[in-house]
Amino acid sequence: MTRPAPTDRRPDASMTLLTTMLQRPLDPGYAAAANRREAQGKPRSTSLRSPLLVIATVLIGLLVGVASYNLTTANKPRSQARADLIGQVEDRRDQVDALTTKAETLQGQVTALENQQLRDPSLADGTRELGAAVGTVPLHGPGFTLTLDDAPGSGADEAAPGDTKAQQGQVQAKDLRYVTNALWESGAEAVSINGKRLTATSAIRFAGSALVVDYRPLTRPYVITALGDPQRFPARFADGAGGTYLSTLRNSFGIRVDTKVSDDLTVPAAVGLTTRFAHSGDTGGATASPGSTPSPTTREGQGAPS
Amino acid sequence: MIPAIGLSLGIIIGLLLQPAVPVWLQPYLPIAVIAALDAVFGAVRAILDGIFDDKVFVVSFLSNVVVAAFIVFLGDKLGVGSQLSTGVVVVLGVRIFSNVAAIRRHLFDA
């Protein structure tokens, strides 16, 4: 057995790929072409003015230009689509806001016309009282505001989806539902959340990560305005289930709760209060606005203020 | 001088026309740019070495782009597109650096 002489092998022979890459970066074709031309008696280097070279350089420049235009993030189709969608969402939101304002104005006109037409003062009073209970007229009076906000550091902006610890610090639809039901229970006569009047058909839901009241998304902080008897209503709420629930939210999850009693608060009229399938019966002309029949089972304690 | 003018002319045309590249072609753009850069630096070094050849330059540019695009395509089909792209970038990057080092030795003797 004869071993090959050690000088035959370079010590890094097993790394030829790396050595070639590092030691001979220049295309060997250049040297070969130069040698060939030298053998033919021409100069080693060709001219830099050949049309082929000009075409190739323009091509390379074109490639670089097109790439730099197309790879800028602002020109990517995805970000364009995203910007389009954001624009559409904002447009529609503006439309909804405009229509809501219009609906509120029209609602006010309807109420005024109703009062004009109902010359009988007892009928007008009855309509107004029913409207106040149902939510078709704006109300003002003593009451208090509850401001709920996410725990510090767990706002919806910062929290990553799936981060349960941060989600625990967020106000959830369940919390708002519980608090509003406790408000009704302790004698609230009218309740609104962020300027949205709650009626017998209002729904507080979670849609994705946003709180939705009557299909309109809410933004933090959540301000609940409740009107009621200034003597007893705030105390009853604080002593009842609602107060306990709020202190649990504050102590266990760090949700910020702020209560403020006030003598004169305003709750707006509900917008778009209609029934789609139920009709008012032929019980005479004393029915209030025809579309708004509250179902007594959905909200306990929502009695007429009279 | 003429090649540099051609290069800037191409860049200006590309930026002014703003042609939309179809989405399926977009992953190949960065690799094609790096391959083109490698060919350009190789050519500059060859010019300084005095052994430049236009045919070799054009062929090396075209083959660089085609081979790089093919590797990316193959990687996409095999499900390792990003890794193979990284490989292409590393290999071409090393070549660009060595060529630039040689150019620097020519120009500044350092």
Tell me the nearest-neighbour CA distance from B79 into chain A, angstroms: 22
pLDDT at A87: 92
A65 touches chain B (CB under 8 A): yes
| Residue labelled with tokens 């630039």 | B100
Query: In this structure, is residue B57 part of a structural domain?
Result: yes
Q: Which residues contact A135 (CB under 8 A, 6 or more apart)?
A: A190, A197, A198, A199, A200, A269, A270, A273, A292
Task: Tell if the CB–CB gap between A27 and B56 is shorter than 8 Å.
Answer: yes
Measured between beta carbons, the chain B residues lying within 8 angstroms of A49 are 2
pLDDT at A95: 93
Measured between beta carbons, the chain B residues lying within 8 angstroms of A31 are 51
pLDDT at A301: 39
Task: State the alpha helices, DSSP H only, in chain A.
Answer: 16-23, 28-39, 51-70, 77-117, 121-134, 164-168, 173-185, 233-239, 241-253
pLDDT per residue as tens digits for the range A42-60:
777 777 778 888 888 888 8
CA atoms within 13 A on the CB side of B59: 10
Which of B10, B30, B91 is nearest residue A21 as measured by Cβ atoms?
Answer: B91
Query: In this structure, is residue B14 part of a structural domain?
Result: no
For residues A145 and A235, what is the distance between their CA atoms, to the nearest angstrom? Answer: 13
CA atoms within 13 A on the CB side of A36: 10
Residue type, A197: R
Task: Tell if the CB–CB gap between A65 and B14 is shorter than 8 Å.
Answer: yes
A to B CB pairs, distance under 8 Å? 152
Query: In this structure, is residue B33 part of a structural domain?
Result: yes
Question: CA-nearest residue of chain A to B33?
Answer: A64
Taking Cα atoms as reference points, which of A302, A304, A265, A270 lies closest to residue A141? Answer: A265
Residue type, A213: V
Looking at every residue in chain B, the average pLDDT score rounds to: 85
- All residue ranges of chain A with pLDDT < 70 are 1-13, 15, 17-18, 20-27, 73-77, 153-167, 272, 282-306
pLDDT at B53: 84
Taking Cα atoms as reference points, which of A134, A276, A122 lies closest to residue A199? Answer: A134
Query: In this structure, is residue B18 part of a structural domain?
Result: no
* Residues of A (270-289) whose Cβ lies below 8 Å from B: none
- Whether omega before A221 lies within 30 degrees of 0, making that bond cis, reads yes
pLDDT per residue as tens digits for the range A185-223:
888 888 888 888 888 888 888 877 778 887 777 887 888
Task: Tell if the CB–CB gap between A56 and B30 is shorter than 8 Å.
Answer: no
Tell me the nearest-neighbour CA distance from B77 into chain A, angstroms: 22
Q: Which residues contact A200 (CB under 8 A, 6 or more apart)?
A: A134, A135, A294, A295, A298, A299, A302
Question: CA-nearest residue of chain A to B63?
Answer: A27
Q: What is the pTM of this model?
A: 0.48
Is residue A134 within 8 Å of A294, Cβ to Cβ? Answer: yes
Task: Tell if the CB–CB gap between A62 and B52 is shorter than 8 Å.
Answer: no
Count H helices, E strands: chain B? 4, 0
For helices B28-49 and A28-39, what crossing angle results, to 10°? 40
Tell me the nearest-neighbour CA distance from A41 into chain B, angstroms: 14
pLDDT at A269: 80
How many domains does chain B contain in total?
A: 1
Is residue A289 within 8 Å of A191, Cβ to Cβ? Answer: no
pLDDT at A94: 92
Task: State the alpha helices, DSSP H only, in A135-213.
Answer: 164-168, 173-185
For residues A150 and A176, what is the distance between their CA atoms, to the nearest angstrom? Answer: 12
Q: What is the CA radius of gyration of chain A?
A: 37
pLDDT per residue as tens digits for the range B13-29:
888 887 777 778 878 88
- Domain range holding B67? 23-108
Task: Tell if the CB–CB gap between A64 and B36 is shorter than 8 Å.
Answer: yes
Task: Tell if the CB–CB gap between A70 and B52 is shorter than 8 Å.
Answer: no
Query: In this structure, is residue B15 part of a structural domain?
Result: no
A89 touches chain B (CB under 8 A): no
Average pLDDT over residues B82-110: 85
